[in-house]
């Protein structure tokens, strides 16, 4: 181990970090200064990676869960040879820079996940570790180990306080993810001061209780860190390596204090730090020659590891061409077969959650790499994968994940599996509990990850469970997130198409809003409705070329609108099913006019708040529910709230 080269690298990480934050006049210097040695030894000695090929399939993954310390990551990515230039570093936190305030997947070479909100990076690392074991079980053979890598994450005090890390860590321990190694930056400082004011639990005992191996060391002993990682690799449990550190290490004006957490050092602080560290006083963005030499020597070593794997992979591919074909399919977005969707007769009634379960199983055949599960609601969500086993420490080939009652971690872990590559993921819960997973769904959208969220029990028709379980504002809340497809099908046929749309979408998450109650399959006047539906809406009942009223409805309210239309004798009525409202709103006016008759009065119907439907209809023509529900049988709840076909017909007929 080239100690001098590593020490020079740590020094350069500190130099680049403090100067970038100072120039931006914004950022968090404490973690980059405090963890520079870890970055140096991780990217220099521990990780299997090739900076010149950041998408190498069998690379080790690193997720900076403590994303506020982003300059640590940008500095080491630049130093080790990733496509992060010094100009990128110098434009830290500026518009258009590859070095955003928090690491963002897709804009910065070498960044594996958008690890901004604390704790989510940790949970995504759990997902990546799961994905590694799944791929290994699928593709490794007795003579070739083409999948064999580790997932590392750096977590801070804040990450361990956030509940999502507890959920994810608990599941990781249960699943014995031995190739997951988390470094805990134990500096005992948060923004408000010492963590003792709010956080004094015994983290070691907590993680031992989760089923983790816990190791301890110093952030500033690089040889010890390497030894601890080697020890971690010998255990079949995930490992938490607690590294005692000093926030702002090397900067005398802030070291060990909350002042290091969220503001630049300032001119005096920079001068004091450079003098203390031996960095030339008048040189900004200083990089030690020994650091450059160190990674220049490492570059061919990194490349050789990649080349050796390429040769191994080529030999495996030649010997196992069927597996190679499957590998290619797993790493593409295309279906591997074309099983037919279920067929339904007009008038047949079933809940869209049940239709979703049938469609999901078709998708699981079309996409052999589709994996996922539910937050302890496999039966109510109807997400069982027929003929498939459950994932466990004893069965890494299982395609179904039992997440337990951990909605937030479930969604974040699903993001991690998706980010890893090789899989499409889905996860499921009751729609009202999307509030628990919303922060991870938001990151799905921000990272453009096509996770499918199966959200059942989508309205007051949940019934007896009452207002705590009856979504009211939830659809509006989901639709409010940019780059999220919210699909609310109105019958079993539409549900199957919604699943197709979700799986065809490769740059955004999809939410399937599904009913508990049965809905009748209805006739569809648009003969090409399956394609038209991809616009977000289509004509179910034409009424006439120029109807008096067009009712735009989603989900269960399409059946309600059809029933209401039959009660209206004084007007011609068109009924439109709006499967994806936001997609339909984005369509050209010509497409909208072909579906929603432009000269007709428009009535909107949905069993949720009216927000957003003003785009189509005047407030008095929106049939919605702008209050919380009630506990009771579904039909009686609807009647109690006045949400009936008769009342909708009155609005249509007025």
Read off φ and ψ for residue 454, nearest 5 degrees: -90, 110
Task: Return all residues near 311 (Cβ < 8 A) that are at least 6 apart.
Answer: none
Indicate the angle between helix axes 434-447 and 120-139, nearest 10 degrees.
Answer: 70
Read off φ and ψ for residue 358, nearest 5 degrees: -65, -45
Cβ pair 518, 350 in contact under 8 A: yes
Q: Report the distance separating Cα 551 and Cα 547, nearest Å.
A: 10
* Residue 231 buriedness (CB in 10 A; 0-12 / 13-18 / 19+): middle
Task: Return all residues near 339 (Cβ < 8 A) that are at least 6 apart.
Answer: 362, 365, 366
Read off φ and ψ for residue 49, nearest 5 degrees: -160, 165
CA nearest neighbour of 153 among 67, 84, 44? 67
Candidate list 37, 112, 407, 582, residue with the active-site label: 407
CB atoms inside a 10 Å sphere around CB 553? 28
Q: Report the distance separating Cα 226 and Cα 228, nearest Å.
A: 5
Place of tokens 């409805």: 553
What is the Cα 248 distance to its own chain's centre? 31
CB atoms inside a 10 Å sphere around CB 96? 8
Task: Return all residues near 189 (Cβ < 8 A) that are at least 6 apart.
Answer: 30, 157, 195, 247, 256, 257, 258, 260, 261
407 is catalytic: yes
Cβ pair 179, 151 in contact under 8 A: yes
Q: Report the distance separating Cα 580 and Cα 487, nearest Å.
A: 5
Q: Report the distance separating Cα 103 and Cα 74, nearest Å.
A: 8
400: tokens are 């179904």
Read off φ and ψ for residue 64, nearest 5 degrees: -85, 95
Catalytic sites, residue numbers: 407
């Amino acid at each position: 181990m080239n100690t001098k080269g590593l020490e020079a690298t740590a020094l350069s990480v500190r130099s680049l970090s403090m100067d970038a934050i100072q120039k931006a006049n914004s950022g968090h210097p404490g973690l980059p200064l405090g963890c520079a040695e870890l970055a140096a030894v991780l990217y220099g000695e521990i990780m299997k990676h090739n900076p010149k090929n950041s998408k190498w399939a069998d690379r080790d993954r690193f997720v900076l869960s403590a994303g506020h310390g982003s300059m640590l990551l940008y500095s080491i990515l630049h130093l080790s040879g990733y496509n992060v230039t010094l100009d990128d570093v110098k434009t830290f936190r500026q518009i258009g820079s590859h070095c955003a305030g928090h690491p963002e997947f897709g804009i910065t070479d070498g960044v594996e996940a958008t690890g901004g909100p604390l704790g989510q990076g940790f949970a995504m690392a759990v997902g990546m570790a799961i994905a590694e074991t799944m791929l290994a079980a699928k593709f490794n053979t007795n003579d070739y180990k083409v999948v064999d890598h580790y997932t590392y994450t750096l977590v801070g005090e804040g990450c361990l306080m956030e509940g999502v890390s507890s959920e994810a860590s608990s599941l990781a321990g249960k699943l014995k993810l031995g190739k997951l190694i988390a470094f805990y930056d134990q500096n005992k400082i948060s923004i408000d001061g010492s963590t003792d004011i709010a956080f004094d639990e015994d983290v070691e005992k907590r993680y031992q209780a989760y089923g983790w191996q816990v190791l301890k060391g110093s952030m500033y002993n690089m040889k010890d860190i390497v030894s601890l990682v080697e020890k971690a690799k010998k255990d079949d449990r995930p490992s938490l390596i607690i590294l005692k550190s000093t926030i702002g290490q090397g900067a005398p004006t802030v070291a060990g204090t909350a002042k290091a957490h969220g503001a630049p050092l300032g001119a005096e602080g920079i001068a004091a730090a450079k003098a203390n560290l031996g960095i030339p006083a008048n040189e900004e963005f200083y990089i030690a020659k020994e650091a450059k030499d160190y990674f220049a020597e490492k570059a061919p070593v990194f490349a050789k590891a990649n080349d050796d794997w390429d040769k191994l992979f080529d030999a495996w591919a030649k010997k196992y061409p069927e597996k190679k074909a499957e590998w290619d399919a797993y790493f593409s977005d295309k279906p591997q077969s074309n099983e037919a969707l279920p067929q339904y007769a007009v008038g047949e009634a079933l809940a869209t959650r049940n239709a979703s379960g049938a469609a999901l199983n078709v998708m699981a055949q079309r996409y052999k790499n589709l994996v996922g599960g539910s937050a302890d609601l496999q039966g109510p969500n109807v997400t069982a994968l027929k003929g498939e086993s459950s994932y466990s420490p004893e069965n890494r080939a299982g395609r179904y994940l039992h997440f337990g009652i951990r909605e937030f971690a479930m969604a974040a872990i699903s993001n991690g599996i998706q980010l890893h590559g090789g899989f499409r993921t889905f996860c499921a819960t009751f729609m009202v509990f999307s509030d628990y997973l919303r922060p991870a769904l938001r990151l799905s959208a921000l990272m453009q990850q096509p996770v499918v969220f199966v959200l059942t029990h989508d309205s007051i028709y949940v019934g007896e469970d009452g207002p705590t379980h009856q979504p009211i504002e939830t659809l509006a809340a989901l639709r409010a997130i940019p780059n999220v497809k919210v699909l609310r099908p109105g019958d079993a046929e539409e549900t199957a198409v919604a699943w197709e749309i979700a799986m065809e979408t490769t740059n955004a998450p999809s939410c399937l809003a599904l009913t508990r109650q049965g809905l009748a399959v209805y006739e569809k006047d648009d003969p090409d409705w399956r394609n038209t539906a991809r616009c977000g809406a289509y004509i179910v009942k034409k009424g006439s070329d120029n109807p008096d009223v067009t009712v735009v409805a989603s989900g269960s309210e399409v059946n309600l609108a059809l029933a209401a239309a039959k009660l209206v004798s004084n007007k011609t009525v068109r009924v439109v099913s709006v499967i994806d409202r936001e997609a339909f709103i984005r369509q050209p006016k010509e497409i909208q006019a072909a579906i929603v008759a432009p000269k007709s009065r428009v009535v909107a119907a949905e069993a949720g708040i009216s927000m957003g439907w003003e785009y189509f209809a005047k407030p008095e023509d929106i049939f919605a529910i702008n209050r919380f529900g009630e506990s009771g049988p579904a039909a009686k709840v609807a009647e109690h709230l006045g949400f009936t076909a008769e009342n909708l017909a009155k609005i249509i007929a007025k």
